[in-house]
Amino acid sequence: MVDFNNETTATITPSALVKILILQRRHDFLEAQEHYYKYLSDDVETPVSLDMVLARLRTLFLELQPMLKRQWKGQEEELEEFKKIFTNDSKEKNSIEKILNHFVQLNAMLDAVGLLKIDNKKAYDTTSWEESNNAFKI
């Protein structure tokens, strides 16, 4: 998505680049959990590893960390809790549900800052002239 070898990338503002990177990381995580469930349902005898899912969540977390510090001010415990899942000691205890819960938290934060909010168009009855006119302030 973001090509750092391309000269034109330098012309894009850092905030726009970061937005794209975050979305990319988020997409990668979703892909990883999809693979996890796919292999789980394939009924193979080899135990399925959570490593890839966890690694991608970690990347997303690291990408968002400075923002999380600001957004979760006063909720330092939650941030610490978040960090715990990446330490080796607690690795065994991690379950896919726990990882997904953390992802949901991040997702909610991204929605709150407007990165995922696409349903911002005013909803109105399009079969009504007046509602339609009012939506355009006419």
Partner 1 sequence: MRSKYNYSNGLPFDKTLVKNLDAIYDRVKKQKKGAIMVIDGGVGEAKTTLSVHCADYLNKKAGFGEIDLTPSGCIQLAMGGKDFVTKLKKCFEERLPVAVYDEAGDYSKRGSLTSFNAMLNRVFDTFRTYQIVVILVLPNFKVLDENLFDKGLPRGLLHCYDKQQGKYGNYSGYDHVRMQWIKHIMGKIRVKQQAYSIESPNFRGHFLDLSPERSHQLDMLSTAGKLDSLEKIGVKMDGLLTYQELSIRLQKPISWLRYTIRTLGIKATKKIGLVNYFTPDIVEALITHVDSVKPVGRPRKAYPSEYDDVLAEGG
Question: In what helix (H) or strand (E) does residue 14 lie, and over which residues does it extend?
Answer: helix 14-41
Residues 70-109: x where in contact with partner 1 by CB under 8 A, - otherwise, as a string: ----------------------------------------
The answer to whether residue 126 forms part of the interface with partner 1 (CB under 8 A) is yes
Mark the segment that binds partner 1 (CB under 8 A) among 74-82, 83-91, 114-122, 128-136.
128-136
The answer to whether residue 138 forms part of the interface with partner 1 (CB under 8 A) is yes
Q: With helix as H, strand as E and coil as C, how does 22-77 read?
A: HHHHHHHHHHHHHHHHHHHHCCCCCCCCCHHHHHHHHHHHHHHHHHHHHHCCCCHH
The answer to whether residue 8 forms part of the interface with partner 1 (CB under 8 A) is no
The answer to whether residue 34 forms part of the interface with partner 1 (CB under 8 A) is no
Where do contacts with partner 1 occur on this chain (CB under 8 A)? 126-133, 136, 138
